[in-house]
Structure 1
């Protein structure tokens, strides 16, 4: 920052010094132009012309040489002795005043130059202080100490610049917002890694236990069949988890190409695919498919609609209801079900988040459904929102596509 401060000091100091020189020059010129007439008027007013004419004729100066001039120089025609004396005195007063003005102006200009440099250095420091704070904060923070708060700093490791609105204030606020987003991303990444490790470690432990305990000794055919069925079930669950993680990763990379996709047809296929499961659970599914076509990936949008309907069917109550609606504003899925606290709704979009603790029951999801929905929607420049239903419990999830 030292180089920038020196350059700003030179710029500010040069501008202030230039303004001082111009001001001094303008004042000198204006005073010089009107000084003679002002002195003449003042002297004529103070000493009238008739009194000047009564004064004795001026004697030659001692420094004049008699050999050169033995008699006073003749005055121009029409010039009285009083007027000549007035002009002589005015010239002398003007010369003395201008000399004094120039001397004082140069002294003041020199002092002003020193003061300009000092003020410019101070001003440059004040202007660059937010930049120094931003630089120091960026250098200090990292993924490990993003939440660290050194002594004397603002809470949560933010700049929190206190100042009037302006470009630097907006820059500091923007940097604070970026740090907040980085904090949320780092926290989500850490939770995701921990949850993924836990979710993948559990089926591995189950498989190991089944192999070591269930197949110990000389198990009979029935026992081997049960262990085999259990191992296949755990392997299928692990495969679904891995597929979900891969899908999340691919969605984060964005779409390579976009093609028109009829969302209302996608929603109809999702309802049809889950009709048997909904009937088995006693869930009534209604569909209001109004035309909606968006540009995107057909496979991903199929997965989005399937996850929305599957989440509504599986997290429901006996004899519950699911409503699926598409239209110009997007796709909306509403279901009955357990009461969801309002503060818990945003957390359901995080990977491996569930409303209730996992019980390892058959057919239980891994907690990636809504996370995948949000990731696919973000890849399509869409926005996902969820609200807890006031009556009947459950959720209403909406996906709004950009126009």
Structure 2
């Protein structure tokens, strides 16, 4: 059972009210003792009024014992009534003032914590695509001002780091793809020569295959780095239409693998980057087709409860291995030297894109083998 967190404002209010109530109780106890000591007591008055011979006299009148007893009782009743009234009225006043103190404590705590709320609100609005907001807290040079200034300095360092990463990704996109494109062109030109030998043709085919896999790996790494930086733009997108397009483009691969695709695509609009969302759907569909059995099936759903669900048939997946599938370069097979054409980036990219859209992705083993992957996005 999850324990509900008590806010700092509530705790400060309880602390203020509790300390005031404790101080009021101490003051009430001291006041009671002082009043109790100074109120007259019936027996003390009787002793002062009684003469040495046993007759009760005063300076002017003679008082008999019965009258003295009545006076004694009256003084004791007055004393008891006064003390009771003091306790009751003081307790009522203490409760009222304690409630007022708690109310003022609540207001004072809100004012004292306002800079903390400013820091929290700024942190929530930040994203990897926009790290240029600052708190710029005004006020005396106290602990809260120091906290806000430290937070601003941290944001400055993060902004410089992300800008450097963005430049690196842009440069890597050009520097890594260009040599591969040149290499592919040279191989194709060499293979197109009329006097090329069968051995060179076979070698060129393998080199083109290796180059294609390298290009796919680099493209996956760049998409992963881009999605982990966050979104630079957001727009309303029909997610069901994107999924329908990807499924249509995957029909040839499904036929080649003798896998049937079943869809249930309900209208759904989400906010995000269309290119990245298309990559997300493409990776899930390709994974569902690639890690399947001949004659298997792939079920794809787009709906209100979940943005996307992709379920396929295939080899059983151990539950303890599911979490590791979302790590880069991780596949179900522990051998990285196998002949699989996949680099193990598909689900890593899916998770990064989902988190960049403030969403989440969850996977679990299918009941009949394979994997069930569920993607949740804001607005669905």
TM-score range, shorter chain: 0.5 to 0.7
Q: What are the residue-to-residue correspondences of 1:16-31 with 2, within 5 Å?
A: 23-24=29-30, 26-31=32-37
- What's the offset of the Cα at 1:81? 11
Paired residue for 1:306, among 279, 282, 285? Answer: 282
Contact 1:324 1:333 in 2 (8 A): yes
Paired residue for 1:382, among 340, 356, 359? Answer: 359
- Residues 1:319 and 1:22: Cα distance change in structure 2 (over 3 Å): closer
- What's the offset of the Cα at 1:368? 0.8
Contact 1:283 1:321 in 2 (8 A): yes
What's 1:39 paired with?
Answer: 44
Q: What CA deviation, in whole Å up to 9, does each residue of 1:221-273 have, x standing for no partner?
A: 54444444433333332332222222222222222222111111111111111
Q: What CA deviation, in whole Å up to 9, does each residue of 1:268-305 have, x standing for no partner?
A: 11111111111111111122222111111111111111
What's 1:334 paired with?
Answer: 311
- What's the offset of the Cα at 1:49? 8.1
- Residues 1:239 and 1:360: Cα distance change in structure 2 (over 3 Å): farther
Paired residue for 1:365, among 319, 339, 342? Answer: 342
Q: 2: distance between equivalents of 1:18 and 1:289?
A: 67
Secondary structure of 1:390 counterpart: coil
What's 1:349 paired with?
Answer: 326
Q: What CA deviation, in whole Å up to 9, does each residue of 1:177-227 have, x standing for no partner?
A: xxxxxxxxxxxxxxxxxxxxxxx9xxx9xx9xxxxxxxxxxxx95444444
Contact 1:50 1:82 in 2 (8 A): no
Secondary structure of 1:51 counterpart: coil
Residues 1:51 and 2:57 are matched in the alignment: no
Contact 1:351 1:367 in 2 (8 A): yes
Residues 1:253 and 2:229 are matched in the alignment: yes
Secondary structure of 2:39 counterpart: helix
Q: 1: distance between equivalents of 2:231 and 2:211?
A: 30
- What's the offset of the Cα at 1:52? 4.4
Q: 1: distance between equivalents of 2:247 and 2:56?
A: 122
- Residues 1:299 and 1:28: Cα distance change in structure 2 (over 3 Å): same
Q: 2: distance between equivalents of 1:38 and 1:287?
A: 99
- What's the offset of the Cα at 1:377? 1.3
Secondary structure of 1:312 counterpart: helix
- Residues 1:322 and 1:79: Cα distance change in structure 2 (over 3 Å): same
TM-score, normalization: structure 2?
Answer: 0.53
Secondary structure of 1:239 counterpart: helix
- What's the offset of the Cα at 1:82? 11
What's 1:118 paired with?
Answer: none
Q: What are the residue-to-residue correspondences of 1:166-205 with 2, within 5 Å?
A: none
What's 2:79 paired with?
Answer: none
RMSD of Structure 2 on Structure 1 (CA): 3.7
How many pairs does the alignment contain? 234
- What's the offset of the Cα at 1:318? 1.0
Q: What are the residue-to-residue correspondences of 1:63-142 with 2, within 5 Å?
A: 78-79=60-61
What's 1:131 paired with?
Answer: none
Contact 1:290 1:326 in 2 (8 A): yes
Q: 1: distance between equivalents of 2:268 and 2:259?
A: 26
- Residues 1:15 and 1:251: Cα distance change in structure 2 (over 3 Å): same
Contact 1:49 1:82 in 2 (8 A): no
Secondary structure of 2:54 counterpart: helix
What's 1:143 paired with?
Answer: none
What's 1:270 paired with?
Answer: 246
